[in-house]
Structure 1
Amino acid sequence: MPGSVPPVPPLPSPRHPAHALDRAFLGMERRRPDARWDAGGVAYLSGPPPSLADLRLYVGFRLSRLPLLTSRVEGGTRRSGWRTDADFAVDRHVHEVVADGPEEWDAALHTALNAPFAPGAYWGVWLLHGHAPDRYAVCYRFRHACQDGAAAAMTFRTLLGDGEPSARPVPPKGRRADLPRRVGTAVGLAAKFASGSLVARGPRPAAPFVPTGERRLWRGRVPADALRRIGAARGGSAHDVHLAALAGTLAAWSERSRVPLPRVTALVPVDARRPDEDQTWGNRCFAVPLELPVRRGPKDRNAEGGRSGDSPLWRLDRVMARTRKLRGDTWRQAIQDMVRFMPGRPTAWYLRRVISPRVTDVMATSMPLADKGGLGDTRVTGTALLPLLVPGHLFGVGLSFFDTWAEVSFVADRALPLGESLPGLWERAVAELAQEQGPG
């Protein structure tokens, strides 16, 4: 499909106000210009790769359905808004990395993960090929001031999916009579989360390495039904099982790497979009700290008959006890109201607090992507999320649901000890949960 990239249609509205979360991320970028504030994902495809020119042409056509990606933020951190980028060019956003044979695949992927964005660009796509004649990958990365993970999943469905609707949970539409109760719940929840970010209960794990600034990606996968079956048997979700397996992963990694983990708190994003929202300008995700049951305390052992060791299902029950309210409509509605109405300064303060390594240690997200996908005659065979790697965190971990697989990805600084062992430890932790759960 040779030819020039078609012009992108203008937005239906000339300006959309930037959300408080967007302004908060912009502020953090300006405070820490040395840090990386981007996230994204990788799609792995089978079949011959397209040329760079054809991929640019394809992305250019698809952008008519993604007006956010042809916009830019104008103004300061207090008053800013999204406008159509008059100088937008697909060529500045879609790039190519060619591996010189199979042995150079890791180097090509490393280039795509760490390449800077073009000046003024909020996102980029990298075509990765050359390691095999019938395989290639597409890496999509975005600045977090531009999108959140839920919007990025919608971008995946638009560019590479087959148009399936999002599987994200949303609270039912409320009534006007519920407004006083909703206001009270939202204010109370905001106070609870804010106070929780100020309280440090016990020592934090010391950073076990000197960061290099270069990120690495490691992947694993299990059948998605395995996670769903384990969670459903105990009244939980696949995401609960993922977090329980993550706690087991951290315990095993700590033992192998000899990095003590007295306590670990995961930062868990919660999608706060309303039912009628699809591709929104900027961020609509809240972030909630959740302590992972990596180590048992003396009270936990005594309560279970003095058993030694860490039970996988004990971890799952502890996770579920902490996520139960998050799974309910009341808290989801309150979080949605907080994200929609919280002023800019409290939002920025809370976000800075909750992502601080003094409060949280890992970013842990999960996202349904699509049932299937492809580009032309080539098909998507696997996916990997690229969660935000917060400065001072051990790593970011993402769980993507695609086709029949639940695919875990760990993104960490290359100096993290035994980082390459994390996916295998997570797969083993899931197997231990399934074994202890038994058939059902």
Structure 2
Amino acid sequence: MVKYDIIVIGGGPAGLLAAKTAAENGLTVLLVEQKKEISKIGRCCASMVILDPGFHGEFVHFEGSKIIFPRFGFSVNYSGECVNLTSSIRISPSGYCLTLGDGKSVFAKVVEKEVLLEDLLNEAVDNGVEIMNETIGVKAQNTSNGTEVHLKTPEGMVRMESLITIAADGANSRIASSLGLNVGRKLFFTGKVVSYILEDVECPYANAFIRLMGSEFKGGVYMLPKPPRNKGEPQLFEVIAPSREMLERIIYHSKYSMWFKNSRLVRRRAASVPLYSPILEPVVGKIMVISDAAAWQEAEIQGALMCGYYAAQAATEEIETRNNSLKKYTHFWNSSFEFCWPGVVERSMQYFQLHGKMFNDYELDYIYKLVQDDYIQGTVNHFKAGTYELQAFLRHIDRIKTERPELATKIEKLKQTVKYV
């Protein structure tokens, strides 16, 4: 057995920043990651950094090659390219658009996540973090001296000890499951998606996060521009859908096919993500379950970075003082992340139904046509977007009551549930 101060399981943004920060603090750190190439991304990910002031309790912004977290007092180096998002657009079955944003003000940046991970990995290694790739964290348990983790390596099972374990192994966390933390969590559904990343797409909506609405697409088709891997290369475009068949239909056999007539497929990705209610007590003894492993849906990139940094600082303080400092992470988690607040998840789930299950195709066409020239505050923050859209609908409620009374009833019912806390 090898003993470390900290073992970090998972090499995403949260795990890498946790490992790097702990090593910078002078601790001995082992990072465990199941991928062979840690910075390579095979999972669908919009890779957005959301710039809404106060989102997840922070005021994130970019300064040159740094992502700044002013409230929590740290920054992250990022050497890659970005795409600014200035609109979030929902398109109805007949082509009417509901648009959040003015097309000028930037409310999110799309980053190249592989570059972000590569930058974090290089800094972690430079600070002395030991890496075990192609290794799966299967189980973690508390011991009298700290923690013990069970790891599945290409050569077989091994056990290793540390004073503290940080589990950052994603939404399908084996560590959370091994600790029994998923018992009692509500599973809303499991989202299964595939995506194509293409170049030379001729999308008429610049710098926009796009969602295709209506029964044909089951409310689950998203598109957005992506930055290239290297400066000077063509901008990319990702299309995300519930199945490969739907992707193929959109690209080759739909009214959107003209966007893709000269496009070239660069890579394919997929993901299967369970939407659980969040884990409100993510610390068990000396084991910390952080970021997506404890989240509802996901913590987003900036949330993952916040979790990694704060977990490392709490773990460092605990090792130095043995003063029950890990409870500070629990407080940070519950106070910063909106999905931990009472009622927010349920209201957000109502927002997911706002355009999919709740309104039929004719109703979507009708209401999007009404608001297509309205200014709606720009955001891709799902805790706020539903409120902004509902406010736009309510500006026309008298007309809707006259022309579509059944639709007006649905909208007024939503008024009681779709809120941002």
Shorter-chain TM-score tier: under 0.3
Q: Which structure has the highest helix share of the two?
A: 1
TM-score between the two structures when normalised by the length of structure 2: 0.23
Q: Which structure has the highest strand share of the two?
A: 2
